C-alpha cells in the first residue's frame, strides 16, 4: 500500500483520554465505537474482555455512562500480521475484471482488510476466494501480508469503488499512479448545512489529533491534503444539507471527513467528526460514496473509467428531482 494512503485510524493502540464535556452521558461502548471505528458489538466485546478502564477501574458493563473529566483507557489487540484465509461467503461486487486488476464496488459496512476491529469477513478474504493469485503479491513483499493486492482503501462506513491489483505489474503501476496523484477519485457526499460557495478546495494538512489520538485533525505539521468540491444540490428538508461532488487530490486517513468537518459541514451521520445522528441511515453508515475511479491501464496505458451509482440507502436521502 502506498505510504500516503488511508490506514487504520486505530490499530493496536491504546485509547487514552480525559472525557470531554461533549461525551458526558454517553455510554462507554458507544464512545469506543465513535472513537475507534469498531462496531457496537465489537466495542461491547472489548469491554467484556476487561480491556477498558475508567479512573483506573476496570469497566464491568458497556452501558456505563461517562462523566466529564474521567480518565478513559481502552486497549485493543494489534492488527493481525498473518496470512488471510480465503472466504467464499464474503460477497464481492465486481465492476471490472482485468488480468492485472479488479475494480470492486465495496458495500457499506464492509471492512477492506483485517484490523483491530475485525479479523474475519473482510473484503480481502472474499477477494482471495475469487483471485487466489493476489496472495503472491504479499508473498513477494510488494504489500502487507494481510492486505494482498490492496492499493488503497475505503473506510468501513464508505461505499463505492476500489481497485485491487492482481499482478506485480498491476500493483507497481497502480501504486505509482496513486503516489503521483494520477489516479482520479470522485465521491458524492451529503453534508450538514448549506455550503455557500458553488465550488472550492480545502487545502489543509492532516495529522493525528493530539487531543484524541484515534482521530485525525487539521494540523500545521500534518501531511499535505487537498480536497476539491462542488455543490450538486442544496436541500432544506428534513434539515439543511448539501450534496457535494468531491475529488481527492491526496489520500490521507479520513481526509474527506476531516476536511468537511473543518469547514463546518461534517458528512451526514458521521458521528466521529460530527454530532448529528440521521436515523434514516444505519448507525455506522455515513453519506459518502466513491462514484468514479479513473486510472491508466498498467500495461496498455489506456484510460480506465469505472463508475458506481449511489446505493439504495443513500439514494433514499436524495429527492427524486435532484440530478447527480
> Residue 204 phi/psi, 5° resolution?
-150, 125
Q: Is 321 a catalytic residue?
A: no
Contacts of 140 (CB under 8 A, 6+ apart): 168
Place of cell 473509467: 305
Marked catalytic residue, from 155, 221, 270, 278: 155
Is the previous residue joined to 238 through a cis bond, with omega within 30 degrees of 0? Answer: yes
Residues 62/67/69/70 CA torsion (nearest 10 deg): -30
Place of cell 492532516: 206
Radius of gyration of the chain (CA): 20
- Note the residue count of the chain: 324
Could you count the other beta carbons within 10 Å of the beta carbon of residue 54? Answer: 17
How far from 274 is each of 18, 125, 154, 191, CA to CA, in Å?
Answer: 19, 32, 19, 10
Is 31 exposed, middle or buried (CB count within 10 Å of its CB: 0-12, 13-18, 19+)? buried
Answer yes or no: are the C-beta atoms of 261 and 270 closer than 8 Å.
yes
Transcribe 162-193 into DSSP letters: EEEE-SHHHHHHHHHHHHTT-SEEEEEEEEES
Residues 8/9/11/16 CA torsion (nearest 10 deg): 180
Q: Hey, what's the cell of 76?
A: 485493543
Closest CA to 137 of 118, 113, 108, 110: 113
- Supply the residues annotated as catalytic: 155
Amino acid at each position: 500500500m502506498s505510504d500516503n494512503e488511508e490506514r487504520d485510524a486505530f490499530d493496536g493502540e491504546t485509547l487514552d483520554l480525559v472525557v470531554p464535556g461533549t461525551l458526558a452521558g454517553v455510554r462507554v461502548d458507544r464512545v469506543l465505537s465513535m472513537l475507534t471505528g469498531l462496531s457496537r458489538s465489537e466495542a461491547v466485546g472489548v469491554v467484556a474482555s476487561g480491556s477498558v478502564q475508567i479512573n483506573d477501574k476496570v469497566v464491568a458493563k458497556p452501558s456505563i455512562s461517562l462523566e466529564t473529566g474521567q480518565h478513559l483507557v481502552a486497549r485493543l489487540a494489534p492488527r493481525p500480521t498473518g496470512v488471510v484465509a480465503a472466504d467464499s461467503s464474503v460477497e464481492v461486487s465486481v465492476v471490472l475484471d482485468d488480468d492485472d486488476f479488479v475494480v470492486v464496488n465495496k458495500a457499506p459496512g464492509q471492512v477492506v482488510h483485517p484490523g483491530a476491529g475485525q479479523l474475519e469477513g473482510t473484503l480481502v478474504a472474499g477477494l482471495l476466494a475469487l483471485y487466489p493469485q493476489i496472495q503472491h503479491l504479499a508473498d513477494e513483499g510488494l504489500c502487507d501480508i494481510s492486505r494482498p493486492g490492496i492499493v488503497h482503501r475505503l473506510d468501513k462506513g464508505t461505499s463505492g469503488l476500489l481497485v485491487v491489483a492482481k499482478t506485480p505489474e498491476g500493483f507497481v503501476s497502480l501504486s505509482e499512479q496513486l503516489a503521483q496523484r494520477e489516479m482520479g477519485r470522485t465521491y458524492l457526499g451529503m453534508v450538514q448545512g448549506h455550503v455557500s460557495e458553488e465550488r472550492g478546495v480545502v487545502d489543509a494538512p492532516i495529522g493525528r489529533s493530539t487531543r484524541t489520538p484515534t482521530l485525525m485533525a487539521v494540523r500545521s505539521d500534518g501531511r499535505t491534503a487537498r480536497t476539491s468540491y462542488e455543490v450538486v444540490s442544496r436541500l432544506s428538508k428534513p434539515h439543511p444539507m448539501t450534496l457535494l461532488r468531491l475529488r481527492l487530490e491526496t489520500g490521507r486517513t479520513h481526509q474527506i471527513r476531516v476536511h468537511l468537518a473543518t469547514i463546518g459541514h461534517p458528512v451526514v451521520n458521521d458521528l466521529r467528526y460530527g454530532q448529528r445522528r440521521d436515523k434514516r441511515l444505519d448507525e455506522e453508515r455515513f453519506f459518502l460514496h466513491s462514484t468514479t475511479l479513473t486510472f491508466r491501464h498498467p500495461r496498455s496505458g489506456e484510460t480506465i473509467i469505472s463508475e458506481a451509482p449511489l446505493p439504495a440507502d443513500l439514494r433514499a436521502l436524495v429527492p427524486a428531482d435532484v440530478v447527480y
